Structure formats: C-alpha cells, structure tokens
Amino acid sequence: MESERGSVAAITEIVKLGQRISIKDMAAVAEAAEKSGGALVSVDPDGDWCGTGRVRFPWPPKKAEFATFLDHLVASRINFEVLINGIPVPRDIMVEVSRKYGR
C-alpha cells in the first residue's frame, strides 16, 4: 500500500530513501547476491549522505539468478549501476549499489 501523496508517511519514506544504505539493508544485499552467484566485495560507509557497496558476479552470469538479484534491488528501492569488466573479453560484472540520486 502506498502512502497518500503529501502525507507525513510519504515524506518519511522519501527522507528514508535519501539516507545511506543501512547495515541491515547491506546485509540483505549481500545475502541476495550470494543466492544469485555473486558476492559483496566492498562497502564504503562514507560519512556523507550515501553508503555504497559493490557486488561482483562471474561472467557469464546466470540470467535468472542475476535478474532475481536486480529485482531485489528494485524492490528494496536501492539504486544500482552495472559495469561489465574486461571488454571485449568479459571477466565479471560489477554492480554498484547506493541510494544516491541522479548521477
């Protein structure tokens, strides 16, 4: 159920999303990555308004498992960027997760 637009609940949710990824959220990302064949390889608990994590998947990823991981991020409202390392011969996929807005 979505919060009513302009309500205190909706504003609270927006403010929460502007904060960095919590330890609990990052643990859930790590667990989802492991279930999908990847691994959380680094976390930057920087002092500003965002936390950033990096998840690595071997190449080629298992399509269904990788899609499930990305679906988890979307459902958790965690932003992500996907980078394929090793072009033209891919080695792995790096997924950077954060709650940063606009890049």
Cβ–Cβ under 8 Å, residues 46 and 63? no
CATH number of the domain that 71 lies in? 3.30.70.60
* Structure-block tokens of residue 72: 């988890």
Q: Give a yes or no: residue 47 inside a domain.
A: yes
6 belongs to a structural domain: no
Q: Which residues of the chain have pLDDT under 50?
A: 49, 103
Does any domain span residue 103?
no
- Answer yes or no: is 37 within a domain: yes
Range of the domain at 67: 20-98
How far CA 87 is from CA of 41, 84, 92, 93, in Å, comes to 20, 7, 10, 11
For residue 27, is it within any domain? Answer: yes
Q: Could you give the percent of the chain with pLDDT greater than 70?
A: 83
Peptide bond into 58 cis (omega under 30): no
pLDDT, tens digit (0-9, with 9 covering 90-100), for 18-34 = 667 878 888 999 999 99
Residue pLDDT, tens place only, 77-89: 888 999 999 989 9
Number of structural domains in the chain: 1
In a domain, 81, yes or no: yes
